[in-house]
Amino acid sequence: MATATMTSKGQVTIPKPVRAALGLDSGDRIEFVELEKGQFAIIAATRSVQELKGLFRGKRSKPVSIEEMNAAIARRASGSR
């Protein structure tokens, strides 16, 4: 089992075997996903934008106009203050 120690600034060095298993390289991003209380998974966030193509297909039946987008943004902005 790989272990690491957190510094006083909250920084942790991910052990080399874990970086290798996740395919991480310098500058890569990682995500911490809560599985249950007190337990997290570390996931490499290195997907390219191309892999996301089609992910939301079928979620909306018609295209959204610029006016609809602006109206939604304005509604959200006015409600958040």
Q: What is the pLDDT confidence band of residue 57, given thresholds at 50, 70 and 90? A: low
More confident residue, 53 or 59: 53
The contacts of residue 14 (CB under 8 Å, 6+ apart) are 4, 22, 24, 30, 42
Per-residue pLDDT at 52:
64
pLDDT at 64: 83
For residues 77 and 69, the answer to whether their CB atoms sit within 8 Å is no
Domain boundaries, the chain: 1-48
CB 29 within 8 A of CB 45: yes
- The CATH class for the domain spanning 1-48 reads mainly beta
